[in-house]
Amino acid sequence: MCGVAGAVNCVLTPKDLCSISHRGPDNQELIELDVESNKIFFGHTRLAILDLSPAGNQPMFSECKNYCIVFNGEIYNHLELRRKLNGIEFSGHSDTETILYYLREFGIESVKDFIGIFAFAFLDKRKHQLFLVRDHFGVKPLYYYKKNNQLLFASELKIILNNEAFAKELDLTALNSFLTFRYNPAPQTLIKGIKKLEPAHYLKYCLKDGETEIVPYWVSSPVIKRISDADAIEQYKFLLVKAVKRQLLSDVPVGLLLSGGIDSAVLGHLMSEISDKPIKTFTIGFHGNGDYNELADARETSSLIKSEHYEVLVEKREYLDFFYKSFYHTEEPIAEPTIPALFYVSQLASKHVKVVLSGQGADEPMAGYKRYVGEQILSKYKWFLPFMPVNMVSRLLPANGTLARGLYASRFNENLDRFIGIYTLFTPELKRRLYKDDYFSAYQQDQRFLFEKNFARTEFLTDSLSKLLYLDTRTMLPDNLLLFNDKLTMANSLENRVPYLDLDLVNFLETLPIDLKIRGKVGKYLHRKAAQDWLPLSIINRKKRGFSTPIDEWLKSDLSKLLIDLVESQDSLSRQYLNIDFIKTMVSYHRNKKCDYERQLFIILSLELWYKHFFNQKLN
């Protein structure tokens, strides 16, 4: 796991690479090449995990010098790929060297054969082409900026933003999306001109004429297949064990981020069965007795799997201190209150291991969130929804944010519109009061275009919930949850692997009937049934917590004061685009429990902190 950076016809320096040295403290290198009258820079910061010798350092050239790669990630099936390469004398045993020659031999389309997490740049000097590639589910981020014959790309925005070829400007269309969803789906970012490469796509850049093309290398259109419960459970167990074995591939120790829930407990059990030494597990907790304290649950799981367990208890002050400066690391103002929690548990883990597995990615393919039960109800009774007194119910129960989103989504009969309604936090009605008039009229728009391409690939799925799971796995998961998971673990020089997003496993899950994922009100049904062979029911049936934080309590006290101070400051984003009086009204309503605006207020707070600490200053 590493950091990559590069440029065509604009300069990168060793100092630029230092801004992402946390992604790879073991080695750092920058090269300059001339290809077809273009000046090309390839940079790399290395976190050595496979082949710890200098043979694994990058940028890496083929022996013929016509091909070069800078690679971030892990290819778990690289030994299988290597066996397909004949007549090559390898210098080492890294996965980087394997895929360098695999791409040389079989071309860029062969990236579909890679099973792993990755973002890389590949230079083909013979064809005068440069490729940028992101993995199937977007576990690893990759940003780029293209203007005329100049191209900048990197694992993190800092590299691009600090380059003299780039002029920083807020993208107001992307701001509208962010306020709707609390994150920006790819290819959007809040910085005009900078894009995120979409998962399962590559960018082809022609060095002769500067033309670019975005190409999907993997288009999955699953079809539901009949299968018995027993057969599905056995196949699921086989594929999950295979995924965990794959992802233990490493020349350094591998640990586990252990929550109190079933997902990480299953991984812990399988890791302890496969490993010949006790695994190291890491947990975070907060003071208090709410859902945010899962230390006791994690200790019980650790005792069961006999792990070497470490934990950290975070004070409110510590949490908030990091939250204020977290946007340097996340780079996008993703409004997720779990961000500081993940940073601190990653910091703890990095003192003991270089690699961890985590349970991220289990909920989207297997229907683990409450909203999936809600979608089943909405889709089942959508014929009745037009007759519901939605406005009346909203007025009677204004202090329930989850219900408010469900009621808003219930207005829509079309599946995609309803899904977007489920995602929506600032509705058009709220935006009309939030935006200044000139901004609302110019940038308020239908946001279906961000999801239509992936939604079109669900045509063979017969029920709406399967369609929603497919969509979530390819939008909200990569550009929200996986994005900050990468940024915060790598901020601590820690690689985070996600076995539940193994390609073979997800391919299988997406062909299953929906009643194997959610049965009644029980989500992840298949997962829970399989786990009965591995874990006691007391762990399987635990209430889902998952790095929760007491953010709602804090928004009724300290954080609301901070929010008002931020939006009222002279250089705030809100002063330019938003109605400050309405924000104050939302704060008052939330503090007095008249309306649940927790998520909306946290969005604005995150946005203002990002704007203050990230957008308006140079990042060193």
The pLDDT > 70 percentage for the chain reads 93
Q: Indicate the burial class of 87 (C-beta count within 10 angstroms; 0-12, 13-18, 19 or more).
A: exposed
For residue 490, the number of C-alpha atoms closer than 13 Å in the C-beta half-sphere is: 31
Q: What is the pLDDT of residue 325?
A: 85
| pLDDT exceeds cutoff 80 at 617 | no
The answer on 244 and 104 residing in a single domain is no
Q: How far is CA 132 from CA 78, 144, 213, 477, in A?
A: 19, 9, 10, 21
- Average pLDDT (457-486) is 96
Q: Is residue 275 part of a domain?
A: yes
Q: Is residue 431 part of a domain?
A: no
Q: Which domain CATH number covers 67?
A: 3.60.20.10
Question: What is the Cα–Cα distance from 401 to 136, expressed in whole angstroms?
Answer: 33
Q: Is residue 557 part of a domain?
A: yes
- Are 528 and 262 in contact, with CB atoms under 8 Å apart? yes
The answer on 176 and 31 residing in a single domain is yes
The three-state (H, E, C) secondary structure of 296-349, written as one string: HHHHHHHHHHCCEEEEEEECHHHHHHHHHHCHHHHCCCCCCCCHHHHHHHHHHH
Helices (H), 353-499: 363-366, 370-380, 390-396, 401-409, 415-423, 428-434, 437-443, 452-456, 464-474, 476, 482-490
**DSSP code string of 12-59:** --HHHHHTTGGG-BTEEEEEEEEETTEEEEEEEEE---S--SGGG-SS
Q: How far is CA 390 from CA 285, 370, 414, 596, in A?
A: 39, 20, 17, 17
Highest mean pLDDT among 150-164, 274-288, 379-393: 150-164
Q: Provide the pLDDT confidence category of residue 393 given band limits of 50, 70 and 90.
A: very low
Q: Is the preceding omega at residue 199 within 30 degrees of 0, hence cis?
A: no
Domain boundary among 511, 540, 569: 540
The answer on 182 and 238 residing in a single domain is no
pLDDT digits (tens, 9 = 90+) for 307-328: 999 999 988 888 888 988 899 9
| Least confident window among 173-182, 349-358, 545-554, 567-576 | 545-554
The answer on 256 and 162 residing in a single domain is no
- Average pLDDT (188-209) is 97
Question: What is the Cα–Cα distance from 143 to 154, expressed in whole angstroms?
Answer: 5
Q: Is residue 183 part of a domain?
A: yes
Q: Which domain CATH number covers 488?
A: 3.40.50.620
Closest CA to 16 of 167, 143, 133, 157: 157
- Average pLDDT (378-405) is 60
For residue 425, the number of C-alpha atoms closer than 13 Å in the C-beta half-sphere is: 19
Q: Looking up tokens 């009969």, which residue turns up?
A: 413
Query: Residues for the chain: how many in total?
Result: 620
Question: What is the Cα–Cα distance from 479 to 489, expressed in whole angstroms?
Answer: 16
Beta-carbon contacts of residue 544 (< 8 Å; ≥ 6 apart): 261, 368
The neighbouring-strand residues paired with 215 are: 202
Question: What is the Cα–Cα distance from 492 to 350, expressed in whole angstroms?
Answer: 6
| Least confident window among 276-290, 304-318, 578-592 | 276-290
| pLDDT exceeds cutoff 70 at 439 | yes
| pLDDT exceeds cutoff 60 at 611 | yes
The answer on 527 and 563 residing in a single domain is no
Q: How far is CA 263 from CA 132, 211, 258, in A?
A: 32, 44, 9
Q: Is residue 403 part of a domain?
A: no
The answer on 485 and 347 residing in a single domain is yes
The pLDDT > 90 percentage for the chain reads 78
Q: Is residue 268 part of a domain?
A: yes
Q: How far is CA 100 from CA 104, 105, 335, in A?
A: 6, 9, 37
- Average pLDDT (37-53) is 96
Question: What is the Cα–Cα distance from 66 to 128, expressed in whole angstroms?
Answer: 10
* CB-based contacts of 444-449 (< 8 A; 24+ apart in sequence): 444/176, 445/173, 445/176, 447/176, 447/177, 447/180, 447/181, 447/420, 448/416, 448/417, 448/420
pLDDT digits (tens, 9 = 90+) for 89-120: 999 999 999 999 999 999 999 999 999 999 99
Q: How far is CA 238 from CA 84, 195, 245, in A?
A: 25, 38, 11
Question: What is the Cα–Cα distance from 367 to 467, expressed in whole angstroms?
Answer: 11
**DSSP code string of 157-225:** HHHHHTSTT----B-HHHHHHHHHHSS--TT--SBTTEEEPPTTEEEEEETTT--EEEEES--------
The answer on 60 and 105 residing in a single domain is yes
Q: What is the pLDDT of residue 618?
A: 54
* CB-based contacts of 247-250 (< 8 A; 24+ apart in sequence): 247/74, 247/76, 247/357, 247/497, 247/499, 247/502, 248/274, 248/275, 248/357, 249/50, 249/74, 249/76, 250/49, 250/50, 250/354, 250/355
Q: What is the pLDDT of residue 440?
A: 73
The answer on 243 and 210 residing in a single domain is no
Helix (H) or strand (E) holding 272, with range, is helix 262-274
The neighbouring-strand residues paired with 144 are: 153, 195
The answer on 556 and 528 residing in a single domain is no
Q: Is residue 512 part of a domain?
A: yes
Q: For residue 519, what are the domain limits?
A: 229-323+333-365+467-540
Question: What is the Cα–Cα distance from 589 to 203, expressed in whole angstroms?
Answer: 47
Q: Is residue 385 part of a domain?
A: no
- C-alpha 441 chain-centroid distance: 31
Average pLDDT, the chain: 91
The answer on 168 and 97 residing in a single domain is yes
pLDDT digits (tens, 9 = 90+) for 54-81: 999 999 999 999 999 999 999 999 999 9
The answer on 241 and 314 residing in a single domain is yes
Beta strands 2-8; 27-35: pairing state: unpaired
Q: Which two tokens stand for residue 187?
A: 């290819």
- Average pLDDT (436-458) is 86
The answer on 167 and 53 residing in a single domain is yes
How many structural domains is the chain composed of? 3
Q: What is the pLDDT of residue 396?
A: 46
Beta-carbon contacts of residue 498 (< 8 Å; ≥ 6 apart): 117, 139, 357, 358, 360, 361, 482, 485
Q: What is the pLDDT of residue 404?
A: 78
